[in-house]
Structure formats: C-alpha cells, structure tokens
Structure 1
Amino acid sequence: MNQFLLRSLTPSVLGILVRRGADFAAAEDAVQDALVEAVRVWPADQPRDPKGWLVTVAWRRFLDATRADAARRRRENLVDEEPAPGLAPAVDDTLQLYFLCAHPSLTPSSAVALTLRAVGGLTTRQIAQAYLVPEATMAQGVPPARRAWGSISRAKRTVSGVRFDQPGDVATVLRVLYLVFNEGYSGDVDLAAEAIRLTRQLATAIDHPEVAGLLALMLLHHARRAARTTPDGSLVPLAEQDRGRWDTESITEGVEILQAALARDRLGEFQAQAAIAALHADAPTAAETDWVQIVEWYDELARLTDSPVVRLNRAVAVGEADGPRAGLAALLALDDSSPSSRLRSSRGYPIPRHAAVAAYLHERDGDLATAARLYAEAAEKAPNLAERDHLTRQAARLNARRGR
C-alpha cells in the first residue's frame, strides 16, 4: 500500500467533495471512510485512476450519510444524482483547502490542527506534538492527543456548512505551512517538500513579502537537510555539518527571494528568520559565521514576535558573538519574572531546549559538570528519539572527559 500516494491525493479528493456541495466536516468524514476502504482493497486491486476511485467512494459515502440523516434532508437537492464515473479532474484544491481551514471564525490553534489533519495528513499524535494548545490548556492534564482531537472536532463543527469560497487568513495559512514544513523536516512525516510546493503556489498567487519570506526560509533550511543526520539517523549540529553537502541551488534561490522581499521594507517574522538562515548559509565555515549580525536579526525578530523560543535562540547567538558568559547572562534574563518564562513550562520542546542551551553555554565556559547534568536533563524531556539520543551522547561525552 502506497501511503504517500494516499496522503498526496487526500486534499484534492476533499476539495472536490466540498466544491460539489458537501460541508467540510461531512466531506472529511467521507474521505476518511474512502481511505480506509482503499487500504482494504488496493493491495489486491489498485485502480487505474486512484484519485477518481477515491472521489467516487467518498462521494457515495457522503450520499449515504446525508440520506440517512433526517436533519440534513435540505441537502437532497445537491445529491439526487451521482456524477458519472470517469477520470477525476486534474485540479489541485490543496491550497484552497488551506484557506478554508484558516477560516476567520476559527482560532489559530484550531485552524492549524484542522489543516494538519485534513490537508497535511498528520496523525492526531503528530498534531499534539506541534504544541498547538495554549499554556492554560496544557496545565489541565488532558492527554495531548485528546486535546488535539478536541481542537479538530471543534474546528470541523465551526466550518460545517461554510461555503468553499469563503476567504481565509493569510497569516494563519503561513503559520500552517510553517508547521507542516517543520513536521516534515523532523523526519517523522516527510511533508517538507509538499510544504515548499504549496508555499511556492501561494507566492505565485499572492504578492506579499511575508509569503516570500516563508518560502525563502523553507528553501534555506531544506538546503541543509542532507547534512543534518548521519546514515544511522543521528543528529548533526549545524556547526559540525559538512557544508559541501548543502544544496547550493536552493540556497541561492532562497537568498534571491529574501533580498527581493526585504527590499520592499515590510519586515515580518518569516523574513527575519530567513535572514538568520541566510547568514548561516553564507558562512564558508562555522567559525566564519557573522554572529554579531545574527544577534541584530534576533533583536528584530524578538521585537516582532516576543517569542520565548526566539529569545532563547538569541541567547545562543549572544554566547557566540560575545562569549559564553554573555550568553549565560542573556539566558539568566529569561527568568520567571519575565514574559519569556513560558519557555520553561509550555509547548513541548522549549523545556529541553532551554536546558540544552544552558548546557552548551556552560560547556563553552568550562563547567563540564553542570553542562553534563543539563544535557541529561534535556534528554529526559526530548520530544523525539533522535534528539534524546543526541543529548544523551553529549552528556556521556562530557562525563567521559571529566573522568579522564
């Protein structure tokens, strides 16, 4: 069974049902039923036109559900006759679905959760790991998967009956694309290339510097993908990556797109992030990185977002530009009295990230005992196996040095 094929066809099939008159929630349910049937039938007899097969089965499931529901009899005018079978139209509805999922009536977290589920093809567990739930909800002790499923269910109810051509919110669409890219970039689900494709499509349709900034950011990050892991899957830190394995064509394209966006003098967070990525890509070696300029861009990014993660990354840059003591001082400023205290208690990975940053700066300052302890603490709370293994190895390496 080709799971990638099913995932890639899902948005188009969903879009076709919605354009035919099905509301989003009912269409999504029907498509899920069709996917289950495909998993059962296709291994023995895969159809010549997989997309058309899914459309036909999903539409029939929608008709059955509609006719069985007395409360939805008003839709009978839409479903009296089933369209004639044949090849499915070669129309990509994925981008339109992103905008539908970014409907103004949805909260940003619900819009992201719905899109990752319906369009991105992520599981509920993967959505829960994308730290979509506000801090207050995180504190209630509800399992992450259940919180994510609740966000999806509420979002589907909200967009039920919404017309397919309702406008969405560009900022939310960009946020969704960014999260899909990051999930694909982690290696759990390979959606990074799809996120880039959709962002290119969005950049063609919408003349907006932040859309261009996001596309540049994706290209610059994706250019380093081949160097990010060893053959056994171990993470390779940026400073240790083989820069000869970076994709220079993607870097060149990303830098050109970013320069054109910055020239419009409408700076946004994705453009600032892309500028930081471009400075890393421009350095022939890690030692030649322009950390002073990177700190300046982090200052701009912090002004735009006031994100605790941004301020955490800024502390790393300060440590590189002005020495580990300066970095530790910047990290110390992120205490419980500041707005950035959220990074110690919210949204999954910032907790181990804070400990890992502190460990790195303490190691550079010569305090190996503290660094080893913090690496071990970060490893215990790492969100995935690759990151946990990397942090565990760092702790073991320092403990071995101390023993010698």
Structure 2
Amino acid sequence: MKTLSKQAIQQDIEELQKKLEEINPNPYKYISRKDFTSLLMKETRSVNNVQDLGIAIMTILANLNDGHTYLNPSYEVFGTNSFMFKFRFLNDGYYLIKSSETLSDYLGSKLVGINNHTINDIETSFSTLIAKENETSLRYYLPSKLMEPVILESLNIKKDKSIKLQLEKDERQLSIDIEPEDCKNKMVSIFEKIPNIVNTLTVQDAYWFEEMANLNAFYFQFNECFGKEDLTINEVVEALERSNLSNLIIDLRNNTGGDSNVLNPLKRFLKKYKKKYKVIVLTGADTYSSAIINLLELSNLPNTISVGEVPHGNPTHYGEVESFILPNSQLKIFTSSKIFKFKGYKLGETFKPTYIVLTRIQDLIHGKDTQMEYLSKIVCLGESVSIASCS
C-alpha cells in the first residue's frame, strides 16, 4: 500500500478542489465552498496512504450529489479481490442476481443483513459514500459498493477476512460465510439459471427488435445510445413501417446512455406520423444519462405512455464527463462539465413513469417480465389507457 506524506495529501486535495471548480458547472450546489473545504480537511486529517485517501475522496465527492462525479475504482484503492455477488433492489428488497459459483445456489435470495448488521443499518452507513441524485440513488448504487471489502472494513461492517451473509429464500433464513475472490472471476447471472426466460429480459445486443403480433406491437429494445453498422436506426424505422403494427414498445430499461442523437431517425419518424402509433416506453432503474434525454423526448410525443421503474438518473442533470489525475496519489477523478436542463424538472427531480411497475422477484425467477405482463393487460384488456387492441 503506497504511503503519502501530509504535504503530498495536502497538494492532492488542493488539486481536487481546484479542478472541480474549473470543470464542474456548479460544485457547490448542495454544499458551500466553506463547508466543502472543511470536509476536505476533516476527512483527510488522519490519512497516510492511497487507499485511505481514496475512501476519503469518495465520502467528500458524495456531498456534491452528482452521479457523474466520482473516484475511478482502481486497484490502488480497492485491491484485486472483491466479494463476488451482485444484489439488485427490486420491489421490496435487495435480491441476489449475480454471483460466483460458490453462491450460485442462492441466486434469487433476499439480503437480510451482513455480519448481523440489518439492511437499514447498512443503508445508513453507506449513505455517506453515495451521491444522492434522487430518491433511487442509494438503492441503485449500494449493491456495487457492497462488493468491496475495503469499503465494508472502513465502515466497520467487516472485521475479518470473511463476512456472513444473512439471506432469505423460500421463507427460510440462511447464513452463509463468504470470502473475497479475484475480481476478474466470472459471475453467474440469475438469467442463466432461469429456464424458458422471455426474450424481453435478455440483453442481446446494443439494440434489436421483433414483431409481437399478439400485442399488435413492434418491440424495440434499445440498450445503448450507440449506432450499429449491421443494423442502423433508419433500418429499424423501415422495419417498423413495413410491419403495419399499431403499437410501438421502446424498451429503455437497460440503457445507461451514450449519444442521445443516435435515436434521432426514429424520433423524427414518430413526430411525422404522430397519430399512427401508440407508443409505450419501458423504463428501468438502469435508465440513465442520454437514455433519459431520449425518454423525455419520446414522452413528449402524443399518444405516448411510460411503464416501469423510476430511473436512477434525472431529466435535469450534470453530465459530459471529464477526468483528471491527482499528482501524488495518481488517483483518477471523473466529474461533470455541463448541466443539461429540461423544462419542468428541477435538479434532483426524477422522471416518474405513467405507470410505476416494479419488478417482482417471483416473476423473475419464473422467467416472466413484470413490466411486459402489466403492459399486456393495458394493450389486450384496454385497462388504464386506450391503446390499439390485440389481434
């Protein structure tokens, strides 16, 4: 572990503050400059190595409430070993959706606690390390932080090499001892264990489509705001036009951003033929950054509704990330360089889908898509909203 002198640490935190003020459009939106400077001094007072400085910087940056401003998760801070499990917050708690082979039999289990710390206690402890852009931020980012032994140790949740996971599965309480593994080890996804999983739950490519005759719908899963050479958005539009289907389902649930302009051909087409299609946009907790821009532009079209989870990104948000490196620790910091404003949304305000539908674990483990099941009722039974009926 690389040690640092007091002078080196002082130079780094001064550089951190200087660069944030140069690049970030408003670093002191949620904390005053005076309080930020005091926090820098307080959190680094007892620091003498790169690892502890990294944790201190995470705590400091969390106060900016900007998900695009963060410490690069390097080996110098977190090491090469992690707890190889990934939980995800669903409708009523955190569920194991990815793990190493060691824990694969427990996929779908609900997290009750770690080392006898309850979930509420864990959320409270981690809240100091996570930028709270909106109401979903803590529950969205917590699972990735739980994987880091260094963070668990810094919060006094972990004291030994192993930890004890308290889980609940099929109404049974389980206690599992687990040790960190090489972070490069492959993890098994719950989706790999589910027989007969529906297509809409699989992320097959940057984007793809299929016709759903039973819903009189053209389904378009748009996972990345990046173009493809083998299938352009113009070609997707042509396929939509040829289909003669009345409902268009645009699935943004897995889209974390990129270039919001990639979808322009489809948006232009829908504006031109705004009375021809009923548009249903699916949203998820992962929907973020440029995908939020697409979501808002689509939602402003007539005959459009949205179904799904509240995204962890906001309409009015910081973005267009730049980076810099601190001179002594060589820690890399990312920060926003621009603010994107959308009419009707203040900074910190979330986009709320027309129908908030949270994923149910029982649907997931049986290969069912909660949002698509709900959408089918809307389309086929005409519940809640008028959409072109099924054939």
TM-score, normalization: structure 1?
A: 0.26
**Which has the higher relative contact order, 1 or 2, with Cα contacts under 8 A spaced 6 or more apart?**
2
Higher helix share: 1
